[in-house]
Structure 1
Amino acid sequence: MKKKKGRVLFASLSGSVIEWYDFYLYGTATGLVFSTLFFPNENPAIGLLLAFATFGVGYAARPIGSIIFGHYGDRIGRKAALMLTLVGMGGSSFLIGLLPTYEAVGLIAPILLVLLRLIQGIALGGEWGGAVLLATEYAPKGLRGLYGSVPQLGVPLGLVAGSFSLTIISFLTTEAQFMAWGWRIPFLFSAVLIVLALWIRSGIDETPAFQEQKESGEIVNVPIVETFRNNGRNVFHVIGLKLGDGFFNVFLMSFILVYATSYLGYGNERALTALTIGCATMIITIPLIGYLSDFIGRKVIYMTGLALMFILAIPYFTLVGNGETWLFVMQAVMLGVLWGAIFSTQGTLFSELFPANVRYTGLSVGYQLAAAIVGFGPMLWTTMAESYGPSPLVFGGFMMVFLTLSFVLSIFVPDTRKISTYESKMDQTAGM
């Protein structure tokens, strides 16, 4: 059984890494490549704004994916849904690597880019929730926080892989070569990664929780309707809980590259190094805090993380402009430690709010609706930066508003370590 659970965790993590590799590869390429090759404009700010609009489209599409794959995940099975999300994500990324540029085909280029980004968003909208459930529904009793943190590692690992691949290619090519063909290589490499992940996931069984629902005949006909009928309050709870750290996350993992290079004067290498440091720190933080949450509870960690991010919001924006050392340190603290701690508990905390028959749908829809909102943060911040510059008060104040909302809502969430929908029927399988 231990070997079986180890493979399940590896399947959950490997697919998550590849999905986020594809998603954040696009985010990294947005400011470096797409704003020039697909959205050329005499005003660089307008080209950047248009490029980040397509970045936001990927986030906006994620709720659609959460409904589609949540439906399949709650009716047909977690494994089946997760196989489909991999194909959608990897296939669209591979095709992005083949796209002609605006110079070659005109408006067709950005239109095709947006369509493929939509497919990416839809696929990712179903991936995250399924990966979390693959881990948590196999978790032994008392270790659900640790197991639920494993697929969360896919975010920093995928981002590092995506940004690192572009960095390596840019180092090995001239600027002209990179813009001409070098940037395409990491996207084309997605095909190899997806085949590997499909092979890994094909060798696992369905989760015990879903098997039990199927055997007892408790599969619901329309999961999205059932979710809002009996668990609508928890869906909105998840949305509110995610907004605070979500906006900061998108900034720390995506917009920081533009903010640091375009408005603070850092070079691309320094900005990417800071991002990599934050992600490397997170790789350590996530499993440690996930394990700790099994002893002190998800709620305590979540509220503490939100409070500390609130306190450090304005200092973060103040210090990152005072030299690259501060940029590196603050990325490590805010992204690697504080956001990493919050994120490590999210999958487990949110999944514990929903019963098994709508868990995939409820978890995914709430999380991805919040993601759709925060995904347009870069468009807002580009406008803010053009109007106010890199103002710590403006940017820090923006983050503090949503962190406050999430903190207030977190007060009313139960301590799911003690009160959880998992224990109602999973006691006998948790100790397997």
Structure 2
Amino acid sequence: MKKRRLLFASLAGSVIEWYDFYLYGTATGLVFSTLFFPTGDPAVSILIAFATFGAGYAARPIGSVIFGHMGDKIGRKASLMLTLIGMGGSSFLIGLLPTYAQVGVLAPLLLVALRLIQGIALGGEWGGAVLLATESAPKGVRGLFGSIPQLGVPLGLVAGTFSFTLISSLTTETQFMAWGWRLPFLFSAVLIVLAIWIRSGIEETPEFQRQKDQGELAKVPIVETFKYNWRDVLRIIGLKLGDGFFNVFLMSFILVYATSYLGYSRDTALMALTISCATMIITIPIVGYLSDYIGRKTIYIVGLVGMLVLSIPYFIMIPQSVTMFYFMQVVLLGILWATIFSTQGTLFSELFPAKVRYTGLSVGYQIAAAIVGFGPMLWASMSAKYGAAPYIFGSFMIGGLLLSLILAIFAPDTRKVTQYEDHVEDDVDSDERIILTSAKPLEID
């Protein structure tokens, strides 16, 4: 029962954090470019709006250092409670902001400030949610446990895009732009209170608690991380860049690309995103479970190869019809990217010892996120100059995927060689184990 509650706590908080973060991404192309960054030129407005979107990604490494330090020194639970407050509070305030027409340049300045707070909070949330699950996992199912908080991404985005779709369908264009877009942001306050209540009832992870009891905590986690584990930080950055660029396109910029350059309606673009994210909800736990049998590395490579092969065909096929648009979104995002993402949290966390795991995992991942977060700015410029050019966009994606694929091939098989400790994982009462099958995969640590 404790394990189930802990998994639910890691998932619930992750869902709400990503709901808030992706609300901004959805609103960037649909609302903010018009209401907060009016320039008279829609292309320039979109470019500026996506610069603020990227600012949230740029702030994530700052959050990874702040909350990574707290998570490795004080505890995973305390850090995660603060990330919830930061994310929820900033999202709620975005829903109250005046527009450019009301207060002038102050409006975009306030919007950017709140976006930076969002990024800082998310920079600490992802790694902590992953560790809450993986450091409490019974031996042999760490991959499955690590995939559960990853569900927060599709669930949060589905919730965010569904809220915009619902409100858009119930309001006129004028009503939506005047006040309808604010409602999903204001609703964050209710969700955050619920998540804080859920997380307040969980215990610290066994592996961190053991480190604390034995006095083995790092004095300055970020210093020790870069002194002893800098290669793994760089490895994570490279492993994340390839799928990261494609992911930001598939989950954020696609709304602008499909509506402004392919001629699809806003509702069609939102529906394509919602369907592909709903598919991820099925893919992620299945692949996470399989990773305990065949290894995180193998699955990671398969996902990267699949995305690489379909990079150019994706951009060629999605303009053909609504059906093909939906189908390619499901394949690229709902299946192939979800395959990679389901293993990422566990794979990356297995590279670091417990005393710097929160910091190392978070810093590497969030530096990569900061880089890929400015992809929409590049794509907005590319689209303005070349239009929907399949070979240009596809080649861009291939470059990043090749880098990640090479690093994945030479990465260690962390299912067999890991920094997690056997005796911590085995310290679980038999009645707390989640029985998944009569035969569990053997994991050699």
Q: Secondary structure at the match of 2:59?
A: helix
Report what 2:347 is aligned to.
Answer: 349
Corresponding residue for residue 195 of structure 1: 193
Runs of 5+ consecutive residues of structure 2 not aligned to the other structure: 431-445
CA distance in 2: counterparts of 1:168 and 1:250, whole angstroms: 23
* 1:102 aligned residue (77, 100, 103): 100
Query: Where does residue 266 of structure 1 map in the other structure?
Result: 264
Which runs of at least 4 in structure 1 moved beyond 3 Å after TM superposition? none
User: Secondary structure of 2:229's partner?
Assistant: helix
Q: Which residue of 1 aligns with 2:438?
A: none
Segment of structure 1 superposing worse, 204-213 or 422-431:
422-431
- In structure 1, distance between residues paired with 2:402 and 2:180: 43
Task: Indicate the RMSD between aligned Cα atoms, in angstroms.
Answer: 0.8
Deviations 1:231-272 (A, max 9, x none): 000000000000000000000000011000000000011111
Matches within 5 A, 1:39-50: 39-50=37-48
The answer on whether the counterparts of 2:139 and 2:426 sit within 8 Å (CA) in structure 1 is no
- State the distance in 1 between where 2:108 and 2:280 align: 34
Give, in angstroms, the shift of residue 428 of structure 1.
3.4
Larger deviation, residues 170-179 vs 33-42: 170-179
Q: Give the equivalent residue in structure 2 for 1:421.
A: 419
For 1:380 and 1:259, locate their aligned partners in 2 and report how far apart those are by CA, in whole Å.
12
DSSP 3-state at the match of 1:314:
helix
Report the equivalent of 1:367: 365
Q: Structure 2 matches for 1:312-351, cutoff 5 A?
A: 312-351=310-349
- Give 1:204's aligned residue: 202
CA drift of 1:429 comes to 2.2
Q: Is contact 2:81-2:199 (8 Å) kept?
A: yes
Bigger mean CA offset, 282-291 vs 167-176: 167-176
Q: Which residue does the alignment assign to 1:249?
A: 247
* TM, length-normalised to structure 1: 0.99
Q: Please say if 1:183 is aligned against 2:196.
A: no
Matched, 1:145 2:137: no
- In 2, Cα distance between the equivalents of 1:365 and 1:250? 19
Map 1:30-429 → 2, pairs under 5 A: 30-423=28-421, 425-429=423-427
State the shift of 1:425 in Å.
Answer: 4.9
Superposed CA offset, 1:247-299 (max 9, x none): 00000000011000000000011111111111011000000000000000000
How far apart in 1 are the matches of 2:64 and 2:70? 10
Deviation at 1:424, TM superposition (A): 5.3
Q: Contact 2:243 / 2:304 at 8 angstroms: preserved in 1?
A: yes
User: 1:85-135 CA distances to partner (integer Å, 9 max, x unpaired)?
Assistant: 000000000000000000000000000000000000000000000000000
- Deviation of 1:427 after TM superposition, in Å, equals 4.3
Q: Is the 8 A contact 2:136 2:425 kept in 1?
A: no
Mapped partners of 1:424, 1:214: distance in 2: 17
Amino acid of the residue matched to residue 51 of structure 2? A
- The structure whose residues are more often helix, as a share, is 1
CA distance in 2, matches of 1:22, 1:46: 25
CA distance, structure 1, for counterparts of residue 172 and residue 270 of structure 2: 18
Q: 1:381 to 1:431 in 2, by over 3 A?
A: farther
Distance, in Å, in 2 between the alignment partners of 1:430 and 1:368 is 32
Give the corresponding residue for 2:434.
none
Tell me which amino acid in the other structure corresponds to 1:271: A
CA contact (8 A) 2:77 2:199 kept: yes
Percentage of matched positions with identical amino acids = 73
**1:283 alignment partner AA:** I
Post-superposition offset of 1:303: 0.4
